[in-house]
Chains A and B, each alone.
Chain A
Amino acid sequence: MTTTTAAPLRLEGVSKHFGGVTAIQRFDLEVAPGEIVALVGDNGAGKSTLVKIISGLYQPSEGTIEINGEQVTFRDAADARAKGVEVVYQDLALVDLQPVYMNLFLGRELRRGPLRVLDRKEMARQTQQLVEDLDVRIPSARALLGDLSGGQRQGIAIARATHWASGLVLMDEPTAALGVAETAKVEEVILKLKSRGAAVLIVSHNLDQVFRIADRVTVLRRGTQVGTRPTAGTDKNEVIGMITGLSS
């Protein structure tokens, strides 16, 4: 890791307006290397908008984004990717009819020789190495993605983000569609990511999960950042109160 002191992600006063509607109001956040920060809030609170801003799909109306200490302006998702920001999307963004390794390298394929031929062998080897490192159990790097289970597919989506991220991984509801055992597996992978020094910003509806894996939790309510707490210094009731605006 080349990270020294600069935070993989620093947001300062980020706002987003759609016409007259304010989707995000002055949002500040810093995520350190090896830290998992959970972003929670009710439906429509602006969580996905925020993820889209950081991943380059939306541009902030105001405020600054810093990646590894460098202020950035993303025009699209490719810009963000180039800066080492990787996203695990809710709907996975994987292609079922392609093998695992092609999914991992889609858009960034390894090539060799004067004809720029696909280097399938090397892609499959690196994929195999990666899934072993992250302990994602799949039959083979050459298996068709469509043949894998939901948990395995999510594992691949996270592995892809890990492979390309140079510091920051965004996750939008990574376990929303998974069963209990698969969720546990994916959480293991996320913790593995943390132990390798990645900064993780995870959107989750599942507060049990937030308290299981996150170091800090930040709450959005109707576009406004209600607060940020270390998970060790708060409890579910307080967070629910922050989400709903009702003190219990």
Chain B
Amino acid sequence: MSAPTTATPPGGVGEVVHDAPARGRILPRPVTGQEVVLVVVIAALWLVLGLATPAFFTSGSIIPLLVSMSPIALIGVGMTIVIITGGIDVSVGSIVMVSAVVTAQALVDHGLSLPVAVLLSVLVGGVLGLVNGVLIAYGRVQAIIITFGTLNLFKFVGLQFFGSSTVEGIPATFAFFGRGEAGRTLGIPHSFLIMLVVATAAWFYLRHTAGGRHFYAIGGDAVAARLAGVAVRRRSLIAYVLTGLLSGLAACFVIAQGTTSLAASVGSGTELAVIAAVVIGGTSITGGRGSVLGTVLGALLVQTVTTGVTQLGWQSQLSDLFVGLFIVVAVGADLVRQRSRRTS
């Protein structure tokens, strides 16, 4: 670095050893308070469930849990980035539906191999994400309005593929992602492992690269980011395309979880589960702050609650109640943090 400003060292600065770096922390901290809380809550729930229902700590219970949470957490990785930029994508459920129906139909009609089918699904998701991204980044319309529109639009497109029936006779190509024996290595579901790899890469990218930090800067103050030379529109576009690609991959997991048929209801409500996981994970809904680790933990918590309610034999609406409570608590914690910052 040829710093042009080193010519005049002002009086007596020399080697001032400041104690500030010792006190200061490398922000953002690798693990936030919210993530610690989540780990504790999840551990407590697992303990309680383990004591209440002996069946909980068997592979017959844990593996479906991990398989079920994987698509939510996977899409959550993209959604986290979108929400960090101050946006939102409520169309992910419809993206999953379109990707799933196109891919399932292609499996039935053409008997695609696994890699080709995955590629197809991911590409379909990416194209739909691109539609969102272009409209939001270059059309400068509120993300929630755009994606609410594309939610319905994509749904319509998906329903045309279904043609008022279901896709039947899907071959077992995606068993690799399923909960059966073929979907596991060393007892761990492949879908879960893939989700972990994606989440780890995203974590590294967000935390340790300039491009990753720019997402946070955009959510913190888009104008300031633009004036500082951040490519705001390109970054937003990337966030939505990435979410689309991951939704396409998640669609493969969703097909693998089902039977040999696929109904038109596939993917519906996914957006709510994903946003719940992201928010519970501590990502600020107003942008500028958040983490992928939190989202993965959030997805695990939501799935634990759902599984737990089922296993305890309680009525299933109770899981909605609990997830709702977690969201309220998480958003409340975020608000308290923001207010205490403003008044400090």
Contacts and interface: CB of A to CB of B under 8 A. Distances in A.
A140 interface: yes
B8 A142 contact: no
Contact of B229 (A2, A81, A116, A125): A81
B344 interface: yes
30 contacts: A2-B4, A77-B227, A77-B229, A81-B229, A91-B223, A93-B223, A93-B224, A95-B221, A95-B224, A96-B288, A97-B220, A98-B216, A106-B213, A106-B229, A106-B230, A109-B210, A110-B1, A111-B210, A118-B210, A126-B3, A128-B20, A132-B13, A133-B13, A139-B23, A140-B18, A141-B21, A144-B27, A163-B3, A166-B4, A192-B10
A102 B288 CA distance: 13
Interface in B1-40: 1, 3-5, 7-10, 13, 16, 18, 20-21, 23-27
B27 A99 contact: yes
B289 interface: yes
B317 interface: no
B66 interface: no
Nearest to A120: B26
Say whether chain B's binding surface is mostly helix, strand, loop, or mixed. loop
Contact of B23 (A97, A124, A140): A140
B229 A107 contact: yes
A107 B228 contact: yes
B310 to A, nearest CB: 39
Nearest to B210: A109
B140 interface: no
A195 B230 CA distance: 31
Nearest to A108: B229
A141 B18 CA distance: 11
Contacts of A78: 229
B101 to A, nearest CB: 38
A139 B7 contact: no
Given A99-B27, A142-B25, A147-B344, A94 B20 contact: no
Interface residues of B, number: 40
A118 B229 contact: no
Contacts of A163: 3, 5
A2 B5 CA distance: 11
Contact of B224 (A92, A162, A192, A197): A92
Given A106-B230, A142-B24, A95 B210 contact: no
A21 B230 CA distance: 32
Interface string A154-168: 000000001100100
Contacts of A115: 208-209
B204 to A, nearest CB: 8
A58 interface: no
B217 A106 contact: yes
A146 B3 CA distance: 27
Contacts of A84: 4
B165 to A, nearest CB: 49
A141 B20 contact: yes
A117 B208 contact: yes
Contacts of A2: 4
A116 B209 contact: yes
Contacts of A93: 221, 223-224, 227-228
Interface string B215-236: 0110111011101111000000
A124 B220 CA distance: 20
Contacts of B26: 120, 142
A128 B5 contact: no
A108 B20 CA distance: 23
A96 B210 CA distance: 17
B110 interface: no
A124 B227 contact: no
Interface in B141-179: none
B217 A98 contact: yes
Contacts of A107: 214, 225, 228-230
Q: Kindly name the residue among B13, B208, B216 whose own CB sees the greatest number of chain A CB atoms within 10 A.
A: B208
A1 B6 CA distance: 9
A130 B1 CA distance: 14
Contact of A96 (B5, B21, B220, B344): B220
Contacts of B221: 93-96
B18 A128 contact: yes
